[in-house]
Structure 1
Amino acid sequence: MARPTCWLAGILAVVSLAFLGCDDRYPDDLEYYFSAHTRRADPTTKQPSPDQLTEAQLSAEAQQVLGRLLKPIFGTPAHPKVDVSQAGLELPEDPELAGLDETTLAEGSRLYRRFCIHCHGIVGDGRGSTGRWLNPPPRDFRTIWFKFRSTFDPSGALALPSREDLKRTIRSGIPGASMPSFALLSERELDAIISYVIHLNMRGRTEHALGKILVESPALSTGEAEAQQALPDILQTIVSSWTTQKKKVKPVPPAPRWPIIETASTASEAAELMQRARDLFVNKGACVQCHGIDGRGDPREVPDNATRRDFWGNPLPPRDLTQGVFRGGSRPQDLFWRIRLGIAGTDMPATDEKQLTDEEVWLLVNYVLDMSRSRPPITLAE
């Protein structure tokens, strides 16, 4: 299913380029616009989340107010910036915030327009000209819900990805989705795109927070004053969320036995370890609740899989583990992170050391990779 989708994405991207023209720079008079911030519907009532913010909630005048509040800080598509000094703040000196200068952001904007806009849209909402045709839909960059990351927040809050996580996704692409590999881009180009994505994230999250204030205020004039007053605290929280203090890389401990079959001294020992792994998959790890007993996630076996939705309300069937297609990467450490950190915006939960020890996580990684037939079988003699 992924192959036709990728071909379609490529064709539509070419058509979109024709409409956009050959220039890879945005027009100087183009401004960011408001786009709905959709949120997952309640699985029981099917009602939208109260955190949702749509065009129907914000009048045209309110959207203009948002634009006036955001433009001095974040600029325009042709001239992006992250100027928190407009709110009386300073950007912390942090490696994760490097590259938010106007020169780098302008380069990132140019590259984004050339390579990313067709799927992810001008404002990063995932609603580009080809986005509506793709399954799964492109990522909305304006939330904290980035699926594939190696990071955790020591406070227990959901962590944003590291720059290295974003680079890995852009460079490698996402297997089974329409996100291609951009491995031919230079390090400088990759870094510029990452900086621009962070800019879109900061702007989008600020827009959402300010928009909620405007919607909940009894009068637009009152709401604008309240939003202006709240702006420094909102920006402080959002900027802080991108620092190394709020997103630490989860260390991947050495595997006690990796891979099990190659390191076991006998075939019976390998079989015993794999049985332990299967028991974890079925019982303590509770993986079968979504992926099913055979790892396929068949809704005939797990009826809830037919109606699962992600954070944005899109259909979300659990991964068929037997296919060997892992969107967040198929390296053993990638699977370790998926099990330990979960997948943000989905029903794949994180686990801590009280729920699964590192050894147990590694046993599950072994089991999943063995299940997927991603490596050739090795026979051991007794």
Structure 2
Amino acid sequence: MGKFRVRRAIAASGVVLAAVLGLGGFSADAQQAVTGPPPGSAAWVADTALGVHPPDPVTTTPAEVAAFFARLTPAQQDALAVRHPLVVGNLDGVPVRLRYRANTLALTAERGRELARATDPALTPQDHEAARDRAERYRTLLDGGRQILAFDPRGRGQIAEVFGDLATARRTAVVVPGSDIDLHNFDRASSPYGTPAGMARSLYQATDRQTAVIAWTGYTTPLGIGLDAATEDLARAGAERLTRLLDGLAVSTRPQAPATVFCHSYGSVVCGLARSGPDQASGVVVLGSPGMGVGSAADLDPRVPLWATARNDSDWIGRVPYVSVLGLGHGADPTAPGFGARPLPATGSAGHAGYFAPGTASLAAFAAVALGR
């Protein structure tokens, strides 16, 4: 590359970074992605008390995990969930009902630990307050028979909640969120349609409860507007986890078709890098997207339909530069005619997080796609 082209690329990257970081204020709080096997995996692999060798979460596919559990009796399955709740509750391929049971046990145990920390004289008052907050968060997740498909307390925490019955639903959907979402705010009441849980609940109701919907906060999201949001590192880590989730759903549920994946904001970068095939997804829908990390729909699997939701006029994401220069930015605009995605309307929606609001054309379109119509 000549000197002029190098200078032009550096100048362009500076423009991209300035534009991206200027949207909402710079955040230097870089995030470390939570990756690898579930917590407690070493003890899980070493546990042969039932006379069997548990599958290694690092090397075993969800299909192999499903086959392992199919060979166990219900009592053996439950015994493993009791002894290793954080592994069983987060291991894709485990029967869904057993994951709910394991995550209830894991949440109960973590809440007990936090309550003990809240009165530990060796800790500071600030530590006590943080522990009480975490204990209360876990209590809310244990209330009301919530269906928790995944729970990992590491880092900012990861969580997945199911709306509907994955065992009987004819179709399924997964909501993949963007920045600033974690275990503590994935379902905040102040944003009923702008969080993964609110989006999933709204879609579930819009399909007349015929589609089971998963609110999946299963990766480390960026915080604020900063380098994490402008680059793909966290999205690449998330794409691996999303792929494993979809592979697990294919063997642990029996819908008519693989899940439809709804990807909001930075979540659309995760979905683009996942490049799901027809065995994993019936379709992909992006909304409020800064780009998908690809140049066009042609870079994705052509057997998986891709829909791009029109941006409403008040969505700030439209001010993001749709370029990718020296690792900054997420590529072409999925709503552009030349990108190759199928268009969906957004009439009636408002803001960056309003596409799932009842009465909007976007929610009606999402429901139709989720139902396979």
> What is the TM-score of this pair, normalised by structure 1?
0.31
The structure with the larger Rg is 1
| Greater strand fraction, Structure 1 or Structure 2 | 2
> What is the TM-score of this pair, normalised by structure 2?
0.31
